[in-house]
Structures are given as structure tokens and as C-alpha cells.
Structure 1
Amino acid sequence: MNSLFGNPSASRNISSGSIPGNASVSSVKVNVNVSSGSDSFYLYVKHPSGYSASRLVGSTSLSFTEFNGLDPYGTWQVYIVTTRTVSTATARMTVDYTY
């Protein structure tokens, strides 16, 4: 993902795949690989319902509790927004759920 001058990067869609009907989110984790020379940035995770949460990336492992208890089914989105000039990163998201 690439963000320039405070503009959001393109969103990356992540499908939940097949989920049991009574499932609920128990944790969301994102592992981030920041490219050398990148300015600081916010990483946003957007739930299929439209609810979103963000973290200022200061670590390569981020946890989000804001989605706990929500239905994990659907297409999630992840994107970044630089705080300065340019930021580049890759991310891998894991959504754990109980049922």
C-alpha cells in the first residue's frame, strides 16, 4: 500500500471466506512490514458493516479489540494514510472468531 501527502492508499479487500452463522470476532491482528524511508502512518481496518478503527503504526504487530463480538462475515478492508509525505507498507491481517 502507498500513501502520498496524507491521501489514503487504495483499499485492500480481504474476504472472510466461509464462516459459521453464529460466529463472532474474538480478535483482529495485523502484521505490518514498513518499507525503508517511509514516514509514519495510520493503518485503518474497516469491518464489513462499515465500522472502522485505526492505529498509528509504531510496531510491526497491531491488535484491534474494537471489532470483538461483531459478525466476521464479509469483505474487510485495510488501507494506510501517511502523516507526512510518503509511506509504503504491506500488511497481513488475521481475524479470529468463536462460534
Structure 2
Amino acid sequence: MPKNDEGRVTASLANKTLEEIDGQRWPTPCCASYLEATTTSLRKKHLGQFTTEDLRIMIAQDIGAEVLKPFALAVLREDPMAEGDYYPGDLLEAARKRWPDDPELQALT
């Protein structure tokens, strides 16, 4: 997607949730692991409110990753070493694992 279109897409999705976008409502899991509870909760959060850690988790789990890609790229363009809860560059690592052939991600080093 061209960069100028990417900004419009990101702005148009910022006030939506993954649940609203894909139409799937995940029930709150009983006795869920931290990761299950977190990903289920993040599906209900407006995309414009996602933190670096939120993006890292969802992209690493491949949940809504294509929708979240422009948001992650916006963060990474500002700071390729953006840090979630683990270490500097953890979002970039998750994004590169998800999209290993993406030229923009490859150039962010």
C-alpha cells in the first residue's frame, strides 16, 4: 500500500476495534492464560489506543496483523527500536517475523 494511502487507512481505522472490523466476537475465556485474556481484550480496544506492546502481542500472535501493520509501521518509522514490555526493538522483531519479505521492515535497521 502506498505510504500516502496508509495514513488515510490508519486514520479511518483508529476509532474501530478488531471485533468491529472483522465482525467476530470472541467470548471472554474462562480460566484463560494471560496471553488468551490479553488478546481477547485487545480485540475490543480501539486501534488508535494500541500501545507498542499491544501491537507486538497481536502481531506476534497473528491476530489482526494485516489490519495492525500500518499502525506498527507508523511506530517503527518514528523509532525502529520501539520497545514493548521486553526489550528495545521487540516490535520490529515481531513485525519482521510476521512479514519477513517486507522491504520497508528490512530497511529499518
Q: Larger relative CO (CA 8 A, sep 6+): 1 or 2?
A: 1
- Higher helix proportion: 2
TM-score interval (norm. to shorter): under 0.3
- Higher strand proportion: 1
TM-score in terms of structure 1 length: 0.25
